[in-house]
Structure 1
Amino acid sequence: MRATFERDGLRYRPWGARDLDALAALVTDPVIMARVGGALRTDEVAGLLDRYRRPDDPRVLAALCIEDEAGAPIGSGLVTREDDALEIGFLVRREHQGRGHGTRIARALVELAQTRSELVIARVAIDHAASIRVLEKAGLRVASRTPDHLVMERRTSPDSQAGLGPRAQPRSGEASREGDPPGFTPGGGGAGDSPSESQLRRFR
């Protein structure tokens, strides 16, 4: 899906050929990537960008560059197919953390995924309470667990999906005023605040 839309003061658009530096600022940051397999090398970023930009990848519903109202890149969003569900994940640049972006982005990606699937999932480290709280704010609940990770999900019926289509505008009065919870780190442990390990491995 080559969707471009706005929600809660943030703009979501497909990654472009000129976005290499913006993507590198995220995926080569060792703090952001600490819980998702570690930072990528600089020479790996171009390959990741190429994968994000493929229009015919059957596993990828959306790979999005996220910008603030001034047009500055603040993060990345990913929606991928996982069996009968769609999985969300995102990253937020360190200088833009603590402003509520994690919660806003999670909600936007859930709504986008719900336009294509009744089941939306995310994976998060079992000990990452802050990220679990962000996902809960986006309407996800724990569905299963492993020793290391939780799988959280949100399931809706087709007739209840409000949806967020391409170029949708923010709903009046809907912008969140909540900050991300203390300790929220967009490198932490799963699709709740970054691409989950299962997502990231597909692009390496």
Structure 2
Amino acid sequence: MAPESPPDDEPECRFPGGSIRTGRLLLRPLSPADAPELARQANDRALAAMTSSVPHPYGLEDAEAFIASVRAEDAFVRAVACGRTDRFFGVCSLSDCREDRSTELGYWIGREHWGRGYATEAAQAMIDEAFSRNTGIAAVTASCRVINGASRRVIEKCGFQMRRLGFVTSRVDGRVSAECYDLDRRAWEALKRWGKAS
């Protein structure tokens, strides 16, 4: 017997392929050609220490392996690139949908591009993608190290609310204190309405 199909009205909980354009950025699938610049940008201890997944040092082989794994798994990971030149300078991602219908937002921007609002612009575009293209996503979550004020500001600008203090594991510093945030669909819809009204 063939497996039973899910009902037609069951919410969809997956991410389509393709690129996302914002005012200044192109969020596109990673390419093997990004590996040298990915390695250069990610090989920064200060950056790696604020993430859970970036090791330090970070070389070309790490970049090539990361890009290959993302492409093999068809993960929703996007290169953050300049909208005009397509020059790579960061990564933004949404995790696979969990059982509670949430997805986790992750991002990093290379140091030479800090302080220009790129992380917020990329994060907002990914959040919009999560909610507008996926009827099954109930919430987007995010976390940052307690000492990472810049990431906290990005998360707060996107409308997230802090839910708890916890721990994450950094590949550079081990187990570290973190703030855990979430943004549910209802709050996102209200923020989008308020944005249109203003």
TM-score (norm 2): 0.71
Moved over 3 A (4+): 157-163
Shift of 1:35: 2.5
CA distance in 1, matches of 2:71, 2:188: 32
How many residues were matched structurally? 161
The 1:128/1:158 distance shift into structure 2, 3 A limit, reads closer
The unaligned stretches of length 5 or more in structure 2 are 1-15, 168-176
One-letter amino acid of the counterpart of residue 79, structure 2: C
* Higher mean displacement: 152-161 or 138-147: 152-161
Matched, 1:88 2:102: no
> Per-residue CA shift, 1:21-50, capped at 9, x if unaligned?
122123322221122354254232221110
> Per-residue CA shift, 1:86-138, capped at 9, x if unaligned?
11111111111111112111211211222321200001112323321210101
**Cα contact 1:124–1:149 (8 A) shared by 2:** yes
Max Rg structure: 2
What is the root-mean-square deviation of aligned Cα atoms in Å? 2.8
What's the counterpart of residue 98 of structure 1?
A: 115
The unaligned stretches of length 5 or more in structure 1 are 164-171, 175-204
* More helix, by proportion: 2
* SS of residue in 2 equivalent to 1:53: helix
CA distance in 2, matches of 1:159, 1:112: 12
What's the counterpart of residue 38 of structure 2?
A: 23
Q: State which of 121, 145, 164 in structure 2 corresponds to 1:144.
A: 164
What's the counterpart of residue 140 of structure 2?
A: 120
The 1:79/1:156 distance shift into structure 2, 3 A limit, reads same
What's the counterpart of residue 77 of structure 2?
A: 63
CA distance in 1, matches of 2:181, 2:141: 5
What's the counterpart of residue 11 of structure 2?
A: none
Residue identity (%): 20
What's the counterpart of residue 185 of structure 2?
A: 156
* SS of residue in 2 equivalent to 1:123: strand
What's the counterpart of residue 134 of structure 1?
A: 154
**Cα contact 1:23–1:49 (8 A) shared by 2:** no
CA distance in 1, matches of 2:189, 2:58: 43
* SS of residue in 2 equivalent to 1:31: helix
CA distance in 1, matches of 2:115, 2:81: 16
